[in-house]
Amino acid sequence: MVSPAFLFEVIMLIDILEDNINITSLLQEANGVKQFLSLGWRDVSQIGLQGHKPNLNPVDEWKASIERTTKLQYPETYFRHLLFDLPIINRFIEKYGLVRTRLINNNSQKCDIIQQGMTKSIHIPLISNPNCFIVIDNQMFYLEPGKIYLTNTTRKHTYMNASSSPRIHITGCLYS
């Protein structure tokens, strides 16, 4: 007999962990990071929210965790130390035990290569619309703002922004 936990691991691609999240407060914190770094949304596609060791200068460290995992200078699990004073975002990072959490801007009319991660991940959409998708195992999902999603990024996946507006979200890796 196959255990229910095994079936969940095999078939789960997307799950909603929380509903009715205050997106306005999260977006204010995200905008605060951007302003602190003197960046606009068009200037950057990712901002790392965690550093590889404690008490690092966020201005120097925010870029360290935004490469593909194969190009990172440190193992992905090292990026667990909070870089910014973000009470709401950091509460979610700590609650879910996230590492290598990033603020991501997927510009309009863009997609990424198909990839397969080592972990599941948490996604918190801040700005999105029904023409923005995550694709996992050839199935498209719209991640609606106001919810926190667990995504099985150990499967083949990518994102697609088929709209004329940016998609902005927070994502972190889940090793526990």
Domains in the chain, CATH or no CATH each: 12-174 (2.60.120.330)
What does DSSP say about strands 167-174 and 157-161: parallel, antiparallel, or unpaired?
Answer: unpaired
Q: What is the mean pLDDT of the chain?
A: 88
Q: Sign of the CA dihedral 96, 77, 132, 41?
A: positive
> What average pLDDT score do residues 123-141 get?
94
Residue 58 has pLDDT above 50, yes or no: yes
The span from the CA of 144 to the CA of 131, in Å, is 11
> What average pLDDT score do residues 2-6 get?
43
Which of 51, 60, 103 is CA-nearest to residue 82? 51
Q: What is the pLDDT of residue 11?
A: 54
Confidence of residue 39 (pLDDT cuts 50, 70, 90): confident
- Residues 62-74: pLDDT tens digits? 988 887 777 888 8
